[in-house]
Structure 1
Amino acid sequence: MNNQILCSDIDGTLISDSKRVAPQDIQALATWQKHGHLFGITSGRSLDGIKMITRQLEREPDFIVALNGAYVSSITRHIYESNISKVMSRRVLEIVRQLPSEKITVNINRQSRQLVQCVTNGHTEVDEMSLLQQLEDGLEIAKITVLLKLSDDSQLFYEQLSSLPVEITTSDDRYIEIMQQGISKLSGLTTALEQQIPLERVIAIGDYLNDIAMIKSVGAGYAVANARPELKQVADYQTVSHNDGPISHILNEQRRMNR
């Protein structure tokens, strides 16, 4: 098989609506890796969120792209982290706090923290005043995620943030995600491969807008059946939905194509 690297998004792609990896996909991935091929995760999730899912697999991924590329564990196990500057983080937070949202989450030191006025659960929350002070003291944020009250509000956020030198994307109808400028799943995948493997040898699978650049740039880009129309338009191939074990379908198809 010419393509020896496989990477997959998680939500809406690798896992079903029940948040499980299909048994046939677990087996397909185990066989893929046993034959010397590499498998990686390319997700907007935090590292902890990714590990909750990869514990279902027989083998650990060979590389991980988390936080839409802001955190990368490469094929040589090097760790790369990209943060929004403290000045820009503060500016982004000033804007999004004035717009209609249900929840704002910041990723700090590989962990997710919900921004709140007053902390009630120190493990998952950070109060606004404390965070702003930590930014003044040099803290840097990897990603800011806004859960919208209404999906129709996304255009408002794009308009308000478009003049800032940051990367803005969406991973669901109601999620806006902000990273350092130039950071994406594609940049994370390129970093993860350590310039040892060309993108032409990569099979990538996704479902949403934050997957578009990566799907367009690899040798075989797949959109699951439940993917957004914008992703389907740029994908090389389409496959079954996230509820029907797409990984096993894709690998079987690739074997047939490369006989």
Structure 2
Amino acid sequence: MHAAKTYIAHTEVTTMNTVAIDMDGTLLHSEGFVSQENAQALKTLQAQGHKVVIATGRGHKDVNRLLQAVNITPDGIVSLNGARVFWKGKLIHESHMDRDDAVHLAEWLTDRQYYFHVYTNHGMYSPSRSWEFFMNDLDIYTQDKEGGEEIKEAIRRKADGHHRQAHMNELHSAEMIREDDLTVYKFLIVSMLEEKLAVCRKTWGDKPSMLITSSGRDNLEIMHPHTQKGKGLLHLLKHADLDLSTTFAIGDNYNDLPLFNAAAVSIAMGNAESDVKHVATHETTNHDNHGVAEAIHHIILRSTAHNT
């Protein structure tokens, strides 16, 4: 791939595109940073008059932290899978879970020793024993694997880094959600044990007031059914008076499918789940090989050039 090393400022284009990009497994390297190649491609888009929207399961503060490291300011952010949508730094839409649902789910997960954390209007919360539950699952996952101790240490170190960066608050009990009047946007449940995640999905998947999706094989995301990346993108487009017919979406996992359904053109990463690749309009390279930059230079900008 030949990513552009410089970009042209103040270039006018006839077609102005909106490009919605997932983060984990897409814009981010597997080590958790935005590569210079991807950053330069985003700058090229914005310099040529296109709009860059980040559509992610992460919170908007985390998005800004990661992008500020490479001097990128996105035009819009669809955060927490669409629970909170921002345009030019201002909150324009919000959806949240039913509080009783959140309390019951937190009780069920804690009683059954799942690691989880909750995204709320006052930051992220996790039960005090949640980390212990994660490590128990990790012990089971690695016990019969060759090089199990090395695998366990690598996963533990990475997870510990994420946990510390999140500035996690302690959820003393599920009732704290009600007592502290917390607005709950999303639950993230993490386990390497597929059967354990399957039990959770089976137990809560039929509840009409909840939506279950995933951003990786080791997690589940649970939120209100109106909380979807695709719906978040549509709110953003309406607010900013942007054209749906010139939208592109880039992603890799199941929580990106609503985004693909909403956008005019969808691009799956080379590392995407097969179901995601199946519905995508195009495919690019792996996220560790600057697949977003590849998509921008060889699909999005070429498409724009052909339409002008």
Is TM-score (shorter-chain normalized) higher than 0.5? yes
What's the CA shift for 1:76?
7.8
Select which of 287, 297, 302 maps to 1:256. 302
Long gaps (5+) in structure 1: none
Q: How many residues align?
A: 255
Q: Distance in 1 between matches of 2:251 and 2:205?
A: 25
- 2:287 is matched with which residue? 242
- Residue 73 (1) aligns with residue 86 (2): yes
Give the TM-score normalised by structure 2.
0.76
Structure 1, residues 171-209: CA drift from partner, whole Å, max 9, x if none? 111111111122111111111223522332111100111
Matches of residues 16-165 of structure 1 in structure 2 within 5 Å? Answer: 16-74=29-87, 77-101=90-114, 103-109=115-121, 111-116=123-128, 123-129=167-173, 131-136=174-179, 138-164=181-207, 165=209
Greater helix content: 2
* Offset of residue 22 of structure 1: 2.1
Cα distance in 1, alignment partners of residues 231 and 87 from structure 2: 12
1:229 corresponds to: 274
Structure with greater Cα Rg? 2
CA contact (8 A) 2:78 2:229 kept: yes
- Distance in 2 between the 1:155 and 1:199 partners? 35
Once superposed, what is the RMSD of the aligned Cα atoms? 2.3
Whole-Å separation in 2 of the counterparts to 1:124 and 1:76: 23
Contact conserved, 1:95 with 1:161, CA < 8 A, in 2? no
Give the superposition deviation at 1:95: 2.6
Q: TM-score, normalised by structure 1?
A: 0.89
Shift of 1:53: 1.3
Aligned with residue 242 of structure 2, among 187, 190, 197: 197
| SS of residue in 2 equivalent to 1:138 | coil
Q: Distance in 2 between matches of 1:110 and 1:36?
A: 35
Identical pairs, percent: 25
Residue 170 (structure 1) aligns with: 214
Structure 2 letter corresponding to 1:176 = L
Q: Whose strand fraction is larger, Structure 1's or Structure 2's?
A: 1
